[in-house]
Amino acid sequence: MLNEQTLRDLAQTVLLASRADETEVVLLATHARLTRFANNEIHQNVAEHNLEARIRVVKGGRVGVAISNSADRDALLKTLEQAEALAANTPPVPDWPGLPHDTRPTPETETWSEATASATPERRADLVGDVCRTADAAGHVASGALETNTQALYIANSHGVERYVPRTVASFVTVVMSDTGSGYAAGAHRDLNAIPVADLGREAVETATRSRNPIDLEPGVYDVVLDTYAMADILSFVCSLGFGGQAYAEGRSFVSGKLGEQVLGENITIIDDGLSPDGLPLPVDFEGVVRQRLPLVEHGVARAVAWDSRWAARAGTESTGHALPAPNWWGPVPLHPHLAAGETPRSELVRHVERGIYVTRFNYTRTVNPGRVIVTGLTRDGTFLIENGEIVAPIKNLRFTQSYVEALQNVVALSRERRILASFGTVGAMKVPAAVIRNFTFTGKTQF
C-alpha cells in the first residue's frame, strides 16, 4: 500500500500543476484481499492493489471532477486536464461556497488493526473452514466471503487542507442453504478478531435448520420481531433519506422543518458517530472536514441532519463533516449511525408478541415513497411464525410495503445486544439492536 509521503507527493503534483481557482485531490490506496467460498469449499482467493485518484477543480464557480486509478504522475496530470475541461464546459454551480478551509487536526481514533492488516490467506481459510465444516456437519451448504482490506485515504486541497487516514476493513457474510430453508449472518469491523466468524457461521446454520419446510401465511398487518439485519435496513433507509442535508434543505425529508419535534418513538435514539472505534471509523469526510459526532434523534426528537460544505452554506450553517466523494447527487449522508440499545435480551423479544412474524433480514428493498420512507422488499433467510410469545413454525417469505418511519414510531422493545454491520459498502458501519415493532404491513407472499 502506498505510504503517506508517496500520496502527498502525488497530490502536490496535481495541486502545483492546476490552473484552476480551487483544486482538490482525493487519493484512496487500497489493498483488498478476499476469500470466497461456495458449496462448503473455498473457490476463490484474490488480492488487488488499487489507487483511485479523484480530482475536483473549480474555476469561476464551474466545477469539474475526473477520476483515474493510476499512480503514474503523467496519468494524474492527464486526469487534471480532464477535470479542467469538464469544468470549462459545465454551467456554474449556484451559490458555490468554495472548497473547505478546515485545517483543524485530524481527530485521533482507532482506524487501524494489525490483525486485519496482517491477515494471511491461511488465516482467512481457517476462519472460513470452520463455517464450512459446521454447515457440512448439519447437511447444509455454506457460501459467502471474508474480506480483509487495508486503505490509505489522502485528501488535500489548494486551501491548505491535508488529511491522511490509514484504516483497515474486515467484513464477513454467509448464506447457508438447507434442503428447503436458509440462514444468513454477517459482521464488519476494523479488527478481524472482533468479528465472531465461527459464531456467525453457527447462527446461519441454525437458522437454515429451523427454517426448513416453511408453511404458507397470508399477508396482512402483523407485529414483528426484526433481527439486527432487518433493523439495519430500516436504519440505513431512514438515515440516508431523512437525515441528509440536501434532502432536508429541499424539503424532501420527513424531518424537513421538524428539528426539535417528535418524529419517532420515544425509545429511539440515533447517533452518527464516525469517531467510534466500534466498527469502521472514519474521522474526516471526503472533503477533508472533521467528522462530528452527530445526535440525529434523541428519544424520538429530531435534533440534527448531516451537512457537507456546499449544502451547509446554502442553509446558512456549518459542515458537520459528512461529504461523500465528489461528484455525488445524493448530498451528505450519515455513514455511521448507532441505534441505541434497549433492555430486553434478544432471545426474549418474541415474548412481546402474541401472534406475529420473526424476520431475520430483508432483501431487495426499494424505495416507494422517499418522503415517508416507504419501502418494499422481501423477507429472507429465516422467517418464522410467532404465537403466544414463541416461534412455532418457519413460513414462506413475504413481501412487505411499509413506512420505515412509522415502523420506528411503533417500536415497543429493543434488544440490549447490538451488532456491527457495514454501511454504504464498507465506507461506514452501523450499530443496531433487534426490535419488536407493532403493525408491520405485509402485502404479498412467495412460493419459497
Query: CA–CA separation, 151 vs 112, rounded Å?
Result: 9
Which CATH architecture group holds 4-200? 2-Layer Sandwich (3.30)
Domain borders along the chain are: 4-200, 214-447
| Contact yes or no for 162/168 (Cβ under 8 A) | no
pLDDT at 279: 86
| 262: DSSP letter | B
pLDDT at 2: 82
| Contact yes or no for 249/310 (Cβ under 8 A) | no
Burial 211-240 (b: 16+ CB within 10 A, else e): beebeebeeeebbbbbbbbbbbbbbbbbbb
| Contact yes or no for 378/446 (Cβ under 8 A) | yes
3-state secondary structure of 17: helix
Query: CA–CA separation, 374 vs 391, rounded Å?
Result: 28
Query: CA–CA separation, 432 vs 235, rounded Å?
Result: 8
pLDDT at 335: 98
Tens digit of pLDDT at every position of the chain (448 positions): 789 999 999 999 999 999 999 999 999 999 999 999 999 999 999 999 999 999 999 999 999 999 999 999 999 999 999 999 999 999 999 889 999 999 999 999 999 999 999 999 999 999 999 999 999 999 999 999 999 999 999 999 999 999 999 999 999 999 999 999 999 999 999 999 999 999 999 999 999 999 999 999 999 999 999 999 999 999 999 999 999 999 999 999 999 999 999 999 999 999 999 999 988 999 999 999 999 999 999 999 999 999 999 999 999 999 999 999 999 989 999 999 999 999 999 999 999 999 999 999 999 999 999 999 999 999 999 999 999 999 999 999 999 999 999 999 999 999 999 999 999 999 999 999 999 999 999 999 999 9
| Contact yes or no for 408/186 (Cβ under 8 A) | no
Q: State phi, psi for 106 to the nearest 5 degrees.
A: -70, 125
Query: CA–CA separation, 237 vs 128, rounded Å?
Result: 31
Report the run of H or E that residue 359 belongs to, with start and end. strand 355-369
Query: CA–CA separation, 207 vs 381, rounded Å?
Result: 8
Query: CA–CA separation, 318 vs 396, rounded Å?
Result: 49
Query: CA–CA separation, 275 vs 169, rounded Å?
Result: 15
Question: Cell numbers at residue 409, please?
Answer: 414510531
3-state secondary structure 95-122: CCCCCCCCCCCCCCCCCCCHHHHCCCHH
List Cβ neighbours of 140 (8 Å cut-off, separation of 6 or more): 176, 177, 178, 205, 208, 209
pLDDT at 119: 98
What distances in angstroms separate CA 372 from CA 93, 114, 120, 256, 410, one per listed residue? 29, 43, 46, 11, 15
Query: CA–CA separation, 157 vs 58, rounded Å?
Result: 11
pLDDT at 1: 72
Start-to-end CA distance of the chain, whole Å, equals 45
Query: CA–CA separation, 70 vs 76, rounded Å?
Result: 7
Question: With 0-12 CB in 10 A as exposed, 13-18 as middle and 19+ as buried, what is 422?
Answer: buried
What distances in angstroms separate CA 242 from CA 221, 255, 278, 332, one per listed residue? 25, 6, 24, 11
Q: Show the DSSP H helices in 243-377 as ranges.
A: 245-249, 309-315
Query: CA–CA separation, 382 vs 163, rounded Å?
Result: 44
Query: CA–CA separation, 277 vs 179, rounded Å?
Result: 40
CA 162 to chain centre: 25
| 201: DSSP letter | H
pLDDT at 317: 98
Q: Show the DSSP H helices in 196-334 as ranges.
A: 197-210, 228-242, 245-249, 309-315
Query: CA–CA separation, 63 vs 260, rounded Å?
Result: 35
DSSP state string for 29-95: EEEEEEEEEETTEEEEEEEEEEEEEEEEEEETTEEEEEEE----HHHHHHHHHHHHHHHHTSPPPTT
Q: Show the DSSP H helices in 148-227 as ranges.
A: 197-210
